[in-house]
């Protein structure tokens, strides 16, 4: 079967030959042209597809000795409810990964739509270059992980070492949830789509 497009109204007809007349605008077959489907190259539209996926935005924070650090991430989700576990994905080159590997703990800070400043503060630059927590309103969890008091909420997690997965450029950590809290006055949580639209 071939596809035929009307040059007048763009109606597309499927058949071995164009129709005697267009069912939409009544022009004859001479006004139809054959539509040649474009060859699809695998992966050519992958970025367009992955941008349709739904993500939240978070700051993953941890420490290495006295050094506090955090980074923006969009790959975080609850895995199980009993026991409650969380999964995160961290680039192997990031200082945050070194902090998590040394301490075995991290805090997942859930960003709200009023936390755009935190995305700029904890993203785009390495904690090796400057102190990301300097002059920030933060507290410490029971296991001394830094958390952002102005985030919509935070969750303290302990890494399950034998569940850690190294895959390409990133490490996926599965962790037990130990503690957490949320702001009563927090707005909606920030999605990656919201960030891209409002940055």
pLDDT below 70 — which residues of the chain? 40
- Give domain status of residue 152, yes or no: yes
Q: Given this model, what pLDDT does residue 38 score? A: 72
Same domain, residue pair 144 and 187: yes
pLDDT score at 52: 80
Q: Are residues 64 and 26 in the same domain?
A: no
Q: How high is the pLDDT of residue 66? A: 95
Nearest one of 88, 90, 107, 123 to 199, comparing CA atoms: 123
Its domain, for residue 33, covers 2-38
**Total structural domains in the chain?**
2
Q: Are residues 142 and 69 in the same domain?
A: yes
Query: What pLDDT, on a 0 to 100 scale, did the predictor assign at position 132?
Result: 96
Residue 45: inside a domain, yes or no? no
Output the pLDDT for position 158: 99
Residue 126, pLDDT score: 93
110 and 29 assigned to the same domain: no
Can you read off the two tokens belonging to residue 47? 């970025």
Q: What is the CATH number of the domain that holds 67?
A: 2.30.110.10
Give the model's pLDDT for residue 36: 80
CA 27/CA 142 separation, integer angstroms: 76
Is there a single domain that holds both residue 27 and residue 60?
Answer: no
User: Checking DSSP bridges between strand 105-110 and strand 58-64, what pairing results, if any?
Assistant: antiparallel
Burial class (CB in 10 A: 0-12, 13-18, 19+), 16: exposed
């071995």: which residue's tokens?
A: 16
Nearest residue to 143 via CA among 101, 182, 105: 105
* pLDDT for the residue 180: 97
8 and 91 housed in the same domain: no
Q: Which domain CATH number covers 25?
A: 2.20.28
The answer to whether residues 62 and 22 belong to one domain is: no
Give the bridge partners for 189, in sequence order.
112
DSSP the chain: -EEEEETTT--EEEESS--SS-TTT---GGGEEEE-PPPPPTTTTHHHHHTTS--B-EEEEEEETTEEEEEEES-EEEEEETTEEEEEEEETTSHHHHHHHHHSEEEEEEPBTT-HHHHHHHSSS-TTTS-TTTT--EEE-TT--EEETTSSEEEEEEE-GGG-EEETTEEEEEEEEEEEEE-TT--SBPBHHHHHHH-
* 180 and 87 within one domain: yes
Q: For residue 1, what pLDDT is reported?
A: 77
Is 117 a member of any domain? yes
């Amino acid at each position: 079967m071939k596809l035929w497009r009307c040059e007048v109204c763009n109606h597309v007809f499927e058949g071995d030959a164009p129709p005697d007349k267009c069912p939409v605008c009544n022009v004859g077959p001479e006004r139809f042209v054959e539509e040649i489907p474009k060859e699809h190259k695998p992966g050519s539209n992958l970025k367009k597809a992955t941008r349709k996926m739904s993500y939240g935005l978070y700051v993953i924070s941890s420490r290495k000795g006295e050094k506090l650090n955090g980074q923006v991430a969009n790959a975080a989700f609850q895995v199980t409810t009993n026991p409650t576990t969380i999964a995160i994905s961290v680039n192997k080159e990031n200082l945050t990964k070194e902090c998590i590997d040394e301490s075995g703990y991290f805090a997942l800070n859930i960003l709200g739509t009023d936390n755009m400043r935190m995305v700029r503060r904890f993203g785009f630059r390495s904690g090796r270059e400057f102190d990301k927590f300097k002059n920030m309103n933060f507290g410490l969890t029971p296991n001394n992980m830094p958390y952002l008091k102005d985030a919509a909420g935070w969750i303290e997690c302990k890494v399950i070492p034998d569940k850690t997965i190294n895959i390409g450029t990133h490490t996926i950590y599965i962790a037990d949830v130990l503690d957490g809290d949320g702001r009563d006055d927090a707005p909606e949580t920030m999605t990656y789509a919201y960030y891209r639209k409002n940055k």
